[in-house]
Amino acid sequence: MTPIQTSLGSILVVDDQSANRRVVSTLLSREGYAVVSAGSGEEALASYDECQPDLILLDMMMPGMDGFEVMAALKERGLGVPVVFVTAAHDRDLLLRAFDAGVVDYVTKPFLPEELIARVNAHVGLKLTRDRLERVASERQELVNLVAHDLKNPLSSVLFASDILRTNAVRAERIPRYLDMIYESANDAIGYIRHYLETQAGASRNECEGAACADLSETLRWLANRYEFQLDAQGIELTVTTPPPGTKVAIDDRVLRQVAENLVSNAMKYAPNGELLLSGRPGAPGYWQLVAADRGPGIPAHQQRELFKPFSRLGAAEEDGVSSGLGLSLAKQIIANAGGQLWYEDREGGGSVFVIELPAAATTPTPALA
Where does the pLDDT of residue 314 fall: very low under 50, low under 70, confident under 90, or very high at 90 and above?
A: low
What is the percentage of the chain residues whose pLDDT exceeds 90? 32
Number of Cβ atoms within 10 Å of the Cβ of 153 = 23
Q: How far apart are CA 68 and CA 319, in angstroms?
A: 50
Type and span of the H or E element at 48 = helix 41-50
Residue-wise pLDDT for 323-335, tens only, equals 434 578 878 888 9
Q: Residue 320's pLDDT is what?
A: 46
Most confident of 100-109, 327-336, 342-351: 342-351
Measure CA 150 to chain center.
Answer: 15
Question: Could you tell me which residues are beta bridge partners of residue 150?
Answer: none
Residue 162, pLDDT above cutoff 70: yes
Q: How many CA atoms lie within 13 A of 319 on its CB side?
A: 10
For residue 128, count CB atoms less than 10 angstroms from its CB and return exposed for 0-12, middle for 13-18, buried for 19 or more: middle
Neighbours of 323 (CB within 10 A): 16
Model confidence pLDDT, tens digit, residues 75-92: 988 888 999 988 876 778
Q: DSSP labels for 261-283?
A: HHHHHHHHHHS-SSEEEEEEEE-
The predicted-structure confidence for 243-300, as pLDDT tens digits, reads as follows 998 899 999 888 898 889 889 988 988 899 999 999 999 999 999 999 999 999 988 8
Tens of pLDDT, residue by residue over 171-206, are 888 888 888 888 888 887 877 777 666 555 444 444
The three-state secondary structure class of 14 is strand
* pLDDT tens profile 199-246: 554 444 444 444 568 999 999 999 999 898 899 989 999 999 999 988
Distance CA 230, CA 227 (A): 5
Mind giving me the DSSP string for 303-342?
A: HHTTTTSTT--SSSSPP-S---S-HHHHHHHHHHHTT-EE
Which residues, in sequence order, are CB contacts of 7 under 8 Å at separation 6+?
A: 32
Strand, coil or helix: what is 223?
helix
Determine phi and psi for 261, rounding to 5 degrees.
Answer: -60, -35
Helix, strand, coil percentages in the chain from 3-state DSSP, rounded to 5: 50, 15, 35
| Mean pLDDT over the full length of the chain | 82
